[in-house]
């Protein structure tokens, strides 16, 4: 009896619908959960994704990123071969979606949900995650250990603002990934009442403008020119994480190196990366949100794509759920690859 979803060298594949989800290599038809570079690659024959994800792929990879595009409207059912697919908000970045597939799995009508990346924390820049009832839930486990409990984002923003107040003579360079994190930092700063312009490294500009064009309130942003740098004492500057320690950073007045990432929970990592002000802000679910989401889907089976798979699989088994790790390589690299890509932009 055949499986509704299988693992191929390209990634997750649905034979009954003849499509891949977030494939690592070019394929005939790809369904894409969101625009991060480890999920959204160029070169597929056809791409089905939300309108925002298609637009983000065009911004990052060029208009020729695929031969044909099809827009998925959230919640709408689309027939593909012998399957019905639908997209549902994942709360990860603008346009991010979980993909539901309904069809025969081992002889039985089954619903599988591929969540891509997701989170449940406050984020004014995208729609919140909607748990989807399903039989099999496919999740990542980047922060799949009980030690990972992300603090309130607003609390981290308050720490940044407190530092600006304490060190008005120093520029605050905040490393943030250019898709999702940077816009979220700006939007939450606005919610906290911060009304100074937010300054941008050149690599941040395009996606920031895209979010603004979609109605996300990021307030006034300004691209920095080389001449401005020395005059930015006390200001907040968003830049690619790789820029906080390079020569570019040295041109600012006594810079404070900050970095907004879930990994900042690990102090040794922050120290290693020369981060003076670690801000624990993540676009991935922490332990509580992973386990809550799994339970809310009502699934009887969990597949874990990557990250701390063993811990999450073990937890699921203690809840009488069937669970297995997929050991998928190539995901979870968006942070590093996006940083590299931004640094050269
Ligand atoms: Zn992602
Ligand atoms: Zn990812």
Give me the numbers of helices (H) and strands (E) for the chain, helices first please.
Answer: 8, 19
Q: Are residues 183 and 126 in the same domain?
A: no
Model confidence at 337, pLDDT cuts 50, 70, 90, reads very low
| Proximal ligand: closest to the CA of 34 | 1
Residue with tokens 């941008």: 200
CA of residue 251 to ligand 1 center, whole Å: 31
Residues with Cβ < 8 Å from 160, sequence gap 6 or more? 172, 174, 189, 236, 258, 277, 279
CA of residue 260 to ligand 1 center, whole Å: 15
CA of residue 116 to ligand 2 center, whole Å: 7
Looking at the domain assignment, is residue 337 inside a domain?
Answer: no
Q: Are residues 224 and 138 in the same domain?
A: no
pLDDT of residue 333: 63
Looking at the domain assignment, is residue 290 inside a domain?
Answer: yes
CA of residue 147 to ligand 1 center, whole Å: 21
pLDDT of residue 226: 83
**How many whole angstroms separate alpha carbon 114 and alpha carbon 326?**
13
pLDDT of residue 340: 41
**How many whole angstroms separate alpha carbon 150 and alpha carbon 173?**
22
pLDDT of residue 95: 98
User: How many other C-beta atoms can be found within 10 angstroms of the C-beta atom of residue 73?
Assistant: 11
Of the candidates 161, 153, 141, the residue with the CA atom closest to the CA atom of residue 305: 141
Model confidence at 17, pLDDT cuts 50, 70, 90, reads very high
Residues with Cβ < 8 Å from 50, sequence gap 6 or more? 71, 72, 73, 74, 87, 95, 96, 97
Of the candidates 114, 116, 98, 85, the residue with the CA atom closest to the CA atom of residue 16: 85
Asked if the model's pLDDT at residue 342 lies above 90, the reply is no
Residue 90 sits in a domain whose CATH number is: 3.60.15.10
pLDDT of residue 339: 42
Residue where one domain finishes, among candidates 261, 279, 297: 279
Total tally of structural domains belonging to the chain: 2
In angstroms, the Cα distances linking 19 to 30, 32, 54, 77 are 6, 10, 17, 16
**How many whole angstroms separate alpha carbon 88 and alpha carbon 5?**
18
Q: Are residues 142 and 291 in the same domain?
A: yes
Asked if the model's pLDDT at residue 293 lies above 80, the reply is yes
CA of residue 232 to ligand 2 center, whole Å: 34
**How many whole angstroms separate alpha carbon 300 and alpha carbon 257?**
45
Q: Are residues 13 and 70 in the same domain?
A: yes
Please answer whether residues 30 and 21 qualify as being in contact, where contact means their C-beta atoms are separated by less than 8 angstroms. Answer: yes
CB-based neighbours (< 5 A) of ligand 1, an ion: 36, 117
Looking at the domain assignment, is residue 261 inside a domain?
Answer: yes
**How many whole angstroms separate alpha carbon 47 and alpha carbon 19?**
10
Domain of 190, in residue numbers:
153-279
How does pLDDT run across 66-84, given as a tens digit for each residue? 999 999 999 999 999 999 9
Q: Are residues 72 and 118 in the same domain?
A: yes
Q: What is the rounded average pLDDT of the residues 253-269?
A: 95
Model confidence at 335, pLDDT cuts 50, 70, 90, reads low
């Amino acid at each position: 009896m055949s499986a509704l979803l299988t693992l191929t060298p390209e990634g997750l594949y649905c034979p009954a619908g003849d499509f891949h989800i977030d494939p690592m290599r070019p394929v005939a038809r790809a369904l894409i959960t969101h625009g991060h570079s480890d999920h959204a690659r160029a070169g597929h024959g056809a791409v089905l994704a939300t309108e925002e994800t298609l637009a983000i792929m065009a911004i990052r990879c060029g208009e020729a990123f695929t031969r044909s595009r099809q827009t998925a409207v959230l919640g709408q059912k689309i027939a593909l071969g012998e399957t019905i697919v639908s997209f549902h908000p994942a709360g990860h970045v603008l346009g991010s979606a979980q993909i539901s597939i309904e069809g025969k799995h081992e002889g039985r009508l089954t619903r599988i949900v591929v969540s891509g990346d997701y989170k449940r924390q406050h984020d004014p820049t995208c729609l919140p995650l909607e748990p989807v009832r399903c039989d099999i839930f496919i999740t990542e486990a980047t922060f799949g250990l009980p030690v990972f409990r992300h603090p309130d984002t607003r609390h981290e923003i308050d720490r940044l603002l407190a530092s600006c107040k304490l060190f008005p003579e120093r520029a605050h360079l905040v490393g943030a990934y250019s898709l999702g994190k940077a816009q979220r930092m700006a939007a939450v700063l606005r919610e906290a009442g911060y009304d100074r312009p937010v300054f941008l490294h050149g690599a941040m500009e395009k996606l920031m403008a895209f979010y603004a064009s979609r109605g996300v309130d990021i307030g006034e942003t300004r691209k920095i020119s080389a001449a401005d740098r020395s005059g930015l004492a006390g200001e907040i500057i968003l830049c690619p994480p790789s820029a906080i320690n390079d020569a570019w950073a040295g041109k600012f007045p006594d810079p404070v190196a900050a970095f907004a990432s879930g990994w900042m929970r690990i102090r040794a990592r922050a120290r290693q990366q020369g981060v003076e002000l670690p801000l624990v802000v993540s676009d991935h679910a922490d332990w509580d949100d992973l386990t809550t989401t799994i339970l809310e889907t009502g699934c009887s089976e969990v597949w874990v794509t990557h990250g701390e798979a063993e811990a999450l699989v073990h937890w699921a088994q203690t809840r009488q759920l069937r669970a297995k790790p997929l050991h998928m390589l190539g995901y979870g690299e968006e942070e590093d690859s996006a940083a590299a890509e931004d640094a050269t932009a």
